[in-house]
Amino acid sequence: MPLNLQKKGFCGVIDSLTGDPVIVERLHELGFLSGQVVTLLLKTPFAGPFIVKVNDVTVALRSEEAACIEVLESPSL
């Protein structure tokens, strides 16, 4: 399920990156890689940015960027 559809506080593992190749490349450069743990810290209203933590770094993402991140819920996290 895409990260943009998750609720605030979600913690899981990145399964894959899909979508626009330019966005996917930017996400790779920011450290969003398959297998990395990702936490959705804040989801702002009105299609505002998503505040996400990956690799101990906090990043603000646009909705279309968060939609490119396919995540799996991990019960052990």
- How much is the pLDDT for 45? 85
For the chain, report the end-to-end CA distance as a whole number of angstroms: 17
Task: Collect all residues with Cβ–Cβ distance below 8 Å to 4 and sequence separation of at least 6.
Answer: 50, 63, 66, 67, 69
For residue 13, the one-letter residue type is V
Per residue in 20-41, pLDDT (tens digit) is: 999 999 999 999 999 999 999 9
Q: What average pLDDT does this structure show over 36-65?
A: 94
Q: What is the pLDDT of residue 31?
A: 94
Domain boundaries, the chain: 3-73
- CA 8 to chain CA mean position, Å: 11
CATH 1.10.3720.10 fits 3-73, yes or no: no
The structure's pTM equals: 0.92
